[in-house]
A and B are shown apart, each in its own frame.
Chain A
Amino acid sequence: MRELVVISGKGGTGKTSLTAAFAHLADNIVLCDLDVDAPDLHLIAQPAVQRSGPFMSGHGAEIDPAACSGCGTCMDVCAFGAIHNEGGRFTVETAHCEGCKVCVALCPEKAIDFPDRLCGTWYESDTRFGPMVHALLDPGQENSGKLVTLLKAKARERASALGLDLILSDGAPGIGCPVISSLSQASLVLLVTEPTPSGLHDLERVAELCRTFRIPSTVLINKADLSPEYQAAIHAFCQAREIPVVGHLPHDPAITEAMVRGQAVTEGPDTLFGVQVRQIWSKLQSLLEAPSPSRSKESRS
């Protein structure tokens, strides 16, 4: 089983639109939206939910006012400033509670409860592209990395049960917790970038993250005609890091027009842009099949 994870560092480079197009072109895949914070892939994939469930993760502190003696120990020991004293009445600000249990353990009156926390919802669905696994984190919640790990496990289960050989995942922007979780066990990471100062800067950081975790990567330059100068700089960076560039796509409103129709850019009548996406997909397939040069190089060193 192989796993292709699409990330970008910078948001808005076209990850989700391109993932949807690859999902349309691919056979035998499980589709997975790992951007649990602000997921968008479902707007094109239009999943019919088959199963769903709560995502419980960690705990939160709750002070029982009847048992509280007002000593203030909890407030002193909280490293996150989550406990407030309003005229001798101590309360926990849920949004700031890290769920560390220190106040629970040190309260002399044992007046602090520590219930499970509901952080979001996961979904297993069917789409016209194949089965899909996705989720929605509740606003302001943390532990998005754990939810990503849960989705990846569900995608693998689903793929083995159905005999499907590729998991295609749309990742989150950034380089933090959810992105790090999405890299685990990836066969190949597709880094979607754009030739702008931010695109290059964020590509450098996300490529370094892949290198740190020894995951082979390849780069797709979207909106490639925006700046010849930054396009050249991205090529120079990729060459120096021995990261293959899998292809270029022009700055083209076709992607948005398809999105407004609720379609992948490769669905509907053939366009030049669609043909270019098909070419990139076929290259990605060969990269997924061949052992990656960067990985074999890593294992030699």
Chain B
Amino acid sequence: MIIAIASGKGGTGKTTVSASLVSSWKRPVLAVDMDVEEPNLHLFLKPESVSSEAAYLEVPVLDKTLCKQCGACAELCQFKALSLMGAHLLVFPDLCHGCGGCMRICPEGALQKGQRELGAVETGVTPGGIPCLTGRLRIGEAMSPPLMGKLRQRMHAQAAKESLDIIIDAPPGVSCPAMTAVQDADVVVLVTEPTPFGLHDLRLAWKAFRPLGKPMGVVINRAGLGDDRVHAFCREKGLPLLAEIPFRRDIAEHYAKGGILAQLDPGLRATFEDLAERLERMGAEVNHA
């Protein structure tokens, strides 16, 4: 069973919910941080004996002695990673999307396989024995989906081998990184806050993810702040309200210490145990359907 924790707006509490859900999950689970641009889940789950493995994208390397400057590669490349300037072929590996087309069509075999570092995939285990996977984009690298692809391969392999459920902390937004993060999920949890920004971005996320046909539910963080329009939106769209986390200063302070919310008090522990049970039921319905 795979649960993805997503949101349109950033900073609504995806990581807070993910960390608490992981710690409240009854069955063996793999915690995966797919916000590769700004991974934060490890700051709360605190995995130990972390090992890091670099991830690469296959990009072309030019052998100038073989290139006859025919320009076929530059004409094919849609991303301007190859450019014929007079009698010189220039390669811009940072712009390459890794489609491999140039290497396939070069009649001289002048473009060979090279690598661009995308970032790293980190593995570790929490003090409580929960395995964690984190993607960490190299600073300056523009494309996060290729690294997320490597992370997803790793995630599926580990979950299959060790029979684990998966909880994914997704990146904010609704463009391709967010879509990539939720595509494997059985159930998508949208974390929002009851403010105009929260509502607006919840609507964007709902519109973006709805065509995937996955069951979705909403967690309202900072409940009591703002207004009641998020509640009205959930009712109108038939989105189940799975949990509410109150707007309280002690919660913000606990978070600021790197604490897991489900461990702050019995009320919050019950909130997350209940959330975990509801999600397990939603996931089981999908898997049995």
Contact = CB atoms under 8 A, between A and B. Distances in A.
Contacts of B174: 37-38, 137, 139-140
Interface stretch (A48-56, A198-206, A264-272): A198-206
A100 B12 contact: no
Nearest to A141: B175
A251 B252 contact: yes
Interface string B1-38: 00000001111100100000000000000000001011
Interface in A253-301: 253, 256, 259-260, 262
B104 A77 contact: yes
Given A40-B200, A209-B139, A259-B196, A198 B15 contact: yes
A195 B126 CA distance: 24
Contact of A260 (B99, B171, B226): B226
Given A101-B76, A209-B140, A10 B38 contact: yes
B66 interface: no
Interface string A15-26: 010000000000
Contacts of A256: 195, 225-226
A102 B253 contact: no
B98 interface: yes
Interface residues of A, number: 62
B255 interface: yes
A230 B8 CA distance: 27
Contacts of B43: 197-198, 201
A202 B15 CA distance: 13
Contacts of B256: 194-197, 226-227, 230
Given A37-B173, A259-B195, A223 B37 contact: no
A173 B173 contact: yes
Contact of B98 (A38, A79, A209): A79
Contact of B171 (A102, A174, A227, A253): A174
A86 to B, nearest CB: 17
Interface stretch (A122-130, A154-162, A175-183, A235-243): A175-183
Contact of A139 (B137, B197, B204, B227): B204
B204 A102 contact: no
A176 B197 contact: no
B203 to A, nearest CB: 10
Contacts of A95: 179
Contacts of B175: 37, 137, 139-142, 144
Contacts of B171: 174
Contacts of A144: 175
A43 interface: yes
Nearest to A37: B173
A145 B142 CA distance: 9
A98 B200 CA distance: 28
B264 interface: no
Nearest to B142: A177
B139 A205 contact: yes
B283 interface: no
Contacts of A2: none
A115 interface: no
A58 interface: yes
Contacts of B99: 79-80, 98, 100, 102
Interface string A181-199: 0000000000000111110
B14 to A, nearest CB: 9
B270 interface: no
Interface string B136-176: 01011111110000000000000000000000000111111
B40 A198 contact: yes
Given A105-B101, A259-B195, A38 B249 contact: no
Contacts of B196: 40, 43, 259-260, 262
A175 B139 contact: yes
B173 to A, nearest CB: 4
A217 to B, nearest CB: 14
A12 interface: yes
Given A38-B8, A106-B105, A173-B173, A197 B258 contact: yes
Interface in A23-81: 37-38, 40, 43, 58-59, 77, 79-80
A12 B11 contact: yes
A245 to B, nearest CB: 18
Contacts of A244: none
Nearest to A40: B197
A170 B227 CA distance: 24
A71 B216 CA distance: 39
Contacts of A79: 98-100
Given A102-B101, A139-B204, A256-B225, A227 B179 contact: no
B217 interface: no
21 contacts: A38-B10, A40-B200, A77-B101, A79-B100, A100-B79, A101-B78, A102-B104, A137-B175, A139-B175, A145-B142, A173-B10, A173-B11, A174-B144, A176-B141, A176-B144, A197-B257, A197-B258, A226-B253, A227-B253, A229-B257, A259-B226
Which 4 residue pairs of A and B lie closest in terms of their CB atoms, listed nearest first? A12-B11, A11-B10, A139-B208, A100-B99
Given A102-B99, A197-B40, A259-B195, 20 more contacts: A9-B38, A12-B11, A40-B200, A58-B78, A100-B97, A102-B101, A105-B76, A137-B174, A139-B175, A139-B207, A140-B174, A140-B176, A140-B179, A180-B142, A195-B256, A196-B255, A227-B256, A229-B257, A256-B226, A259-B196
